[in-house]
């Protein structure tokens, strides 16, 4: 019998102990259980959104035969059959999976289901890293289980490159300008994150200083008790109040603003309250980079919302305009909500990530989806976005009209847009306020726009609205 | 919730029976008003509720007036605030009543226990829809209690007032209620007039009841205020946002004042109506090239609207031979 000893990176939760049969490996999963696995697996059911997302990131799709209930990312996950740990083992067994990926919460809560699946010969592996080092090891474990070791290495490289890029941006921010942040995990119980939680790694990487660094983790979780009194004891130090939003924390900006005693907090008084989707800051997936960048945009907008590269473009594309309007006007990045939210949307209207001509893993995709979710693009309801086509003056006028609640404009006459076209009043409002110019009564809605021209129009719109 | 309602109902019945069973001599007969509303946790939205409350208290200074919230979640959030030292320090005194707010059944039971045996329950609802039907069912349920001895009846009178736009039946013509409500909205119409805009109201509606009354009320408003174009839509039911959009297109509207046709400006007003998402009412209207001025105030904040409920309490008193002094 051939013995292979594989050591996977950092020794965290998933320690590979050895191989017992040809190709079979013994691993210790997140629950401390020794599991003999025989990779690669080809029929996988994932019962945790992060596992699903990572499997897709490894390049798998047809191998994923089932996902958990609320999954909405990546877009392809919404088209997979749904499985729940509340269901009978028979339903799982009937689908003939060779691997079921779970997390400790499930193994603890549903031991009978775990037992039955294993008895049916199905490999069940429980994984959930709680630190960033653990996350990289976990990606390698997924790579090993699915025979995608190289893809896992590419994921790690991509993550590290993203982090390096952000670190470089943060390095330019003087130490005395760094923002002190309270990062809320659960509003109703006034909990924050444990100092070594992934979310705190995100905050630190984005250049934020955690004011609750003395918080102690609750029973080995990534959540930490803090309490209102202790938050208020830092009231004057908190420059930014950041809160994760998710199933555990259905918080709103208004809730934080109106919380008893919170007026004492500097960030609340100054309106620097930001909400971020837990799925991009607490989950061990590649989107963590997006989450970190997003925190950077909240803390240091001058650095993270800088668009000088786009301003230099002689001809701005639709994708670039999406990025510009999102950055210049500080719109928080859109993340898909849960599966049921997406599916209930009206038939025919665009659902997150379903543009055939936009790679959902690209950075551009996040800006496009954000701008579209805000209704800033005309006729964006189809399956194509045409990201590389140039943005036209009519599109810019439309985007500005939609983004801003513009004040009363000087009446103008436009000769090259039909009066019954909704664009007529939109362009007229934008032109009447001097945000975009008319040339002898012509708006030229079909003309292309340079980066600088689009930028100046957006800046003028911001100024006009602020004056109001 | 149904199960809990039943347990509550059973508890109230039990309480009533116990009270009467052990009563010695004549039961006291004090009078009270219960104002029932869905409720809100937002302090900024509470003004709508306190305005109604203050108007009612002003007219009935000697009558006990209690608020009841029908939403379990909202009541729980208020109760939890009692343990919050910072909240108590800031609002404990002013908002005392809300910190121990109860549902309508418990509020009625408490009052009965304290000797209030003539009670008028006044819903702060817009129209006779699902919530009003449920509340009415609670009251009807309690009114089926018949003790062996008449003198031990838990209530001398337990009556319910009608919603702002009235209810079915010949006792109070709902057309007249609509006329009154339409008159009360004159400031909104005036604002739209000043802005040279159409007025669009976003009502709540309901998917389990016909919401035709919104369309009917739209006609009443249009007849009363021919100088301003008025559109009424609902989040759930008819007329829908699509109907409103079709109307705006048809009338070639270029600007609208958009206001919730709801007592409280809560999540619906902030998200569904004036939210930043593509599918909010504001953005769907703007897509047509129409400028939008969103107004985030609930109807309850309008004193004249609050007076409608005062009048309906008076009507319920008169109909039931209750003297509110």
Nearest CA in chain B to A334: B277
Q: Which member of A228, A373, A424 has the closest CB to residue B84?
A: A228
Pick the range with the lowest mean pLDDT from A320-329, B7-16, B66-75, B222-231: B7-16
- Asked if A73 and A279 count as a contact pair (C-beta separation under 8 A), the reply is yes
- Asked if A427 and A456 count as a contact pair (C-beta separation under 8 A), the reply is no
- Asked if B281 and B294 count as a contact pair (C-beta separation under 8 A), the reply is no
pLDDT over 80 at A429, yes or no: yes
Q: What is the per-residue pLDDT for A8?
A: 38
Domain boundaries, chain A: 16-156, 172-300, 311-467
With bands split at pLDDT 50, 70 and 90, how would you rate the model's confidence at A330?
Answer: very high
pLDDT, mean of residues A183-198: 94
pLDDT, mean of residues B169-195: 97
Q: Do B283 and A429 touch (CB under 8 A)?
A: no
pLDDT, mean of residues A332-350: 69
Q: Do A374 and B276 touch (CB under 8 A)?
A: yes
Q: Which member of B80, B287, B294 has the closest CB to residue A422?
A: B287
pLDDT, mean of residues A35-46: 93
CA dist A458 and A109 (Å) reads 52
- Mean pLDDT estimate for chain A: 91
pLDDT over 60 at A176, yes or no: yes
Angstroms from B275 CA to nearest CA on chain A? 9
Q: What is the per-residue pLDDT for A30?
A: 84
Q: What is the per-residue pLDDT for A219?
A: 79
Angstroms from B310 CA to nearest CA on chain A? 30
Instruction: Count H helices and E strands in chain B, helices first.
Output: 14, 8
Q: What is the per-residue pLDDT for A325?
A: 98
pLDDT over 90 at B11, yes or no: no
Q: What is the per-residue pLDDT for A285?
A: 97
Q: What is the pLDDT of residues B264-315, one digit of tens each?
A: 998 899 999 999 999 899 999 999 999 999 999 999 999 999 999 999 999 9
Q: Which comes out higher in pLDDT, residue A466 or A124?
A: A124
3-state helix, strand, coil in chain A (%, to 5): 40, 15, 45
Q: Do A402 and B293 touch (CB under 8 A)?
A: no
- Residue A6's Cβ-side half-sphere holds a number of Cα atoms within 13 Å equal to 20
CATH class of B2-172+303-319: alpha beta
CA dist A462 and B13 (Å) reads 62
Q: What is the per-residue pLDDT for A420?
A: 92
3-state helix, strand, coil in chain B (%, to 5): 50, 15, 35
CA dist A216 and B319 (Å) reads 63
Q: What is the pLDDT of residues B133-160, one digit of tens each?
A: 999 999 999 999 999 999 899 999 999 9
Nearest CA in chain B to A399: B287
B283's CB contacts (< 8 A; 6+ apart) are A374, A375, A402, B275, B276, B277
Q: What is the per-residue pLDDT for A397?
A: 98
Angstroms from A207 CA to nearest CA on chain B? 28
Q: What is the pLDDT of residues A71-87, one digit of tens each?
A: 888 988 988 999 999 99
Q: Which member of B42, B89, B287 has the closest CB to residue A375?
A: B287
What letter does residue A263 receive in the DSSP assignment?
G
Q: What is the per-residue pLDDT for A381?
A: 83
pLDDT over 90 at A157, yes or no: yes
A18 membership: H or E segment, kind and range: strand A16-18
Q: Do B90 and A188 touch (CB under 8 A)?
A: no
Domain with CATH 3.40.50.1400 in chain B: 2-172+303-319, 186-298
Tell whether A373 lies on the interface with B, counting CB pairs under 8 A.
yes
Angstroms from B109 CA to nearest CA on chain A? 30
Which residues of chain B are within 8 Å of residue A229 when distances are taken between CB atoms? Answer: 85-86
Superfamily for A172-300?
Nitrogenase molybdenum iron protein domain (3.40.50.1980)
What ipTM describes this predicted complex?
0.85
Tell whether A419 lies on the interface with B, counting CB pairs under 8 A.
no
- Residue B90's Cβ-side half-sphere holds a number of Cα atoms within 13 Å equal to 14
Beta strands in B124-197 (DSSP E): 157-160
**First-to-last CA distance in chain A?**
79
What letter does residue B273 receive in the DSSP assignment?
I
Which residues of chain B are within 8 Å of residue A411 when distances are taken between CB atoms? Answer: none
Q: What is the per-residue pLDDT for A1?
A: 35
pLDDT, mean of residues A285-289: 96
Nearest CA in chain B to A332: B276
Q: Do B283 and A188 touch (CB under 8 A)?
A: no
pLDDT over 50 at A300, yes or no: yes
- Mean pLDDT estimate for chain B: 92
Return the SS3 of A251: coil
The CATH number corresponding to A16-156 among 3.40.50.1980, 3.40.50.10480, 3.40.50.300, 1.10.645.10 equals 3.40.50.1980
Tell whether A374 lies on the interface with B, counting CB pairs under 8 A.
yes
pLDDT, mean of residues A14-32: 67
CATH class of B186-298: alpha beta
Q: What is the pLDDT of residues B96-118, one digit of tens each?
A: 999 999 999 999 999 999 999 99
Tell whether B15 lies on the interface with A, counting CB pairs under 8 A.
no
Return the SS3 of A33: coil
Tell whether A126 lies on the interface with B, counting CB pairs under 8 A.
no
Nearest to A9 by CA among A130, A134, A125: A134
Q: What is the per-residue pLDDT for B273?
A: 96
pLDDT over 60 at B4, yes or no: no
Which residues of chain A are within 8 Å of residue B257 when distances are taken between CB atoms? Answer: none
- Residue A446's Cβ-side half-sphere holds a number of Cα atoms within 13 Å equal to 2
- Please give the interface size between A and B, counted as residue pairs whose CB atoms are below 8 Å apart: 73
CA dist A188 and A179 (Å) reads 25
CA dist A311 and A309 (Å) reads 6
Tell me how long chain A is: 468
Interface test with B, best of A425, A432, A468 (most B CBs within 10 A): A425
pLDDT over 60 at A133, yes or no: yes
Whether A16-156 shares its CATH topology with A172-300 is answered: yes
pLDDT, mean of residues A454-464: 97
Nearest to A318 by CA among A384, A395, A370, A374: A395
Q: What is the pLDDT of residues B33-62, one digit of tens each?
A: 999 999 999 998 999 999 999 999 999 999
Q: Do A401 and B277 touch (CB under 8 A)?
A: no
Q: What is the per-residue pLDDT for A353?
A: 83
With bands split at pLDDT 50, 70 and 90, how would you rate the model's confidence at B22?
Answer: very low
Q: Which comes out higher in pLDDT, residue A72 or A20?
A: A72
């Amino acid at each position: 019998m051939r013995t292979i000893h594989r050591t996977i990176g950092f020794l965290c939760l998933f320690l590979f102990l050895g191989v017992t049969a040809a190709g079979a490996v013994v691993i210790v999963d997140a629950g401390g259980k020794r599991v003999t696995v025989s990779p690669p697996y080809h029929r996988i059911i994932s019962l945790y959104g992060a596992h699903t997302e990572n499997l897709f990131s490894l390049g798998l799709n047809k191998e994923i035969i089932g996902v958990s209930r609320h999954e909405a990312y990546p877009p392809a996950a919404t088209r997979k059959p749904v499985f729940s740990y509340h269901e009978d083992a028979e339903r799982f067994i009937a689908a003939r999976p060779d691997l079921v990926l779970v997390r400790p919460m499930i193994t603890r809560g549903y031991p009978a289901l775990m037992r039955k699946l294993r008895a049916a010969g199905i490999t069940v592996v429980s994984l959930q890293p709680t630190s960033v080092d653990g996350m990289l090891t976990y990606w390698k474990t997924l790579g090993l289980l699915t025979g995608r070791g190289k893809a896992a290495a590419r994921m790690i490289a991509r993550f590290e490159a993203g982090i390096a890029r952000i670190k470089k941006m943060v390095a330019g921010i003087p130490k005395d300008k760094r923002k002190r942040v309270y990062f809320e995990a659960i509003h109703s119980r006034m909990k924050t994150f444990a100092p070594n939680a992934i979310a705190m790694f995100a905050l630190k990487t984005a250049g934020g200083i955690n004011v609750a660094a003395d918080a102690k983790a609750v029973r080995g979780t990534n959540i930490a008790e803090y309490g209102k009194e202790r938050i208020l004891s830092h009231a004057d130090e908190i420059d930014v109040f950041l809160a994760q939003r998710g199933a555990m924390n259905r918080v709103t900006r208004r809730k934080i603003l109106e919380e008893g005693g919170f007026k004492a907090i500097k960030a609340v008084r100054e309106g620097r309250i930001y909400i971020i989707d837990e799925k991009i800051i607490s989950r061990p997936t590649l989107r963590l980079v997006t989450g970190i960048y997003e925190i950077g945009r909240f803390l240091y907008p001058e650095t993270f919302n800088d668009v000088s590269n786009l301003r230099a473009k002689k001809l701005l594309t639709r994708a670039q305009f999406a990025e510009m309007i999102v950055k210049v006007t500080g719109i928080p990045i859109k993340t898909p909500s849960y599966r049921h939210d997406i599916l209930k949307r009206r038939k025919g209207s665009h659902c997150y990530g379903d543009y055939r001509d936009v790679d959902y893993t690209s950075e551009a995709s996040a800006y496009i989806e954000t701008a579209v979710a805000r209704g800033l693009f005309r006729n964006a309801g189809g399956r194509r976005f045409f990201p590389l086509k140039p943005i036209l003056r009519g599109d810019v006028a439309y985007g500005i009209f939609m983004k801003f609640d513009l004040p009363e404009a000087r009446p103008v006459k436009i000769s090259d847009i039909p009066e019954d076209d909704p664009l007529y009043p939109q362009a007229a409002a934008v032109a009447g306020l001097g945000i975009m110019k008319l040339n002898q009564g012509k708006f030229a809605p079909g003309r292309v726009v340079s980066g600088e021209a689009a930028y100046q129009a957006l800046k003028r719109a911001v100024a006009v609205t602020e004056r109001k | 919730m149904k199960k809990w309602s039943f347990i509550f109902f059973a508890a109230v019945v039990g309480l009533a029976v116990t009270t009467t069973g052990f009563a010695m001599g004549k039961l006291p007969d004090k009078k009270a008003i219960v104002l029932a509303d869905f409720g809100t946790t937002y302090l900024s939205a509470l003004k709508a509720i306190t305005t109604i409350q203050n108007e009612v208290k002003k007219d009935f200074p000697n009558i006990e007036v209690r608020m009841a919230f029908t939403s379990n979640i909202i009541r729980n959030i208020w109760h939890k605030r009692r343990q919050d030292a910072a909240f108590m320090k800031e609002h404990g005194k002013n908002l005392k009543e809300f910190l121990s707010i109860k549902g309508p059944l418990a509020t009625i039971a408490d009052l009965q226990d304290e000797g209030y045996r003539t009670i008028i329950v006044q819903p702060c609802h817009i129209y006779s829809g699902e919530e009003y039907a449920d509340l009415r069912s609670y009251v009807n349920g309690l009114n089926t209690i018949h003790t062996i001895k008449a003198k031990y009846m838990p209530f001398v009178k337990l009556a319910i007032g009608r919603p702002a736009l009235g209810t079915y039946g010949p006792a109070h013509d709902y057309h007249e209620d609509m006329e009154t409500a339409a008159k009360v909205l004159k400031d909104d119409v005036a604002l739209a007039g000043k802005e040279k805009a159409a007025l669009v109201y976003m009502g709540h509606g309901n998917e389990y009841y016909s919401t035709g009354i919104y369309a009917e009320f739209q006609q009443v408003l249009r007849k009363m205020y021919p100088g301003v174009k008025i559109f009424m839509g609902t989040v759930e039911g008819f007329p829908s946002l699509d109907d409103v959009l079709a109307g705006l297109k048809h009338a070639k509207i270029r600007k609208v004042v958009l206001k919730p046709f709801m007592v409280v400006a809560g999540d619906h007003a902030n998200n569904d109506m004036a939210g930043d998402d593509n599918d909010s009412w504001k953005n769907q209207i703007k897509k047509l090239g129409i400028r939008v001025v969103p107004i985030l105030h609930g109807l309850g904040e309008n004193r004249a609207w609050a007076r409608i409920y005062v009048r309906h309490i008076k009507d319920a008193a008169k109909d039931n031979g209750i003297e509110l002094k």
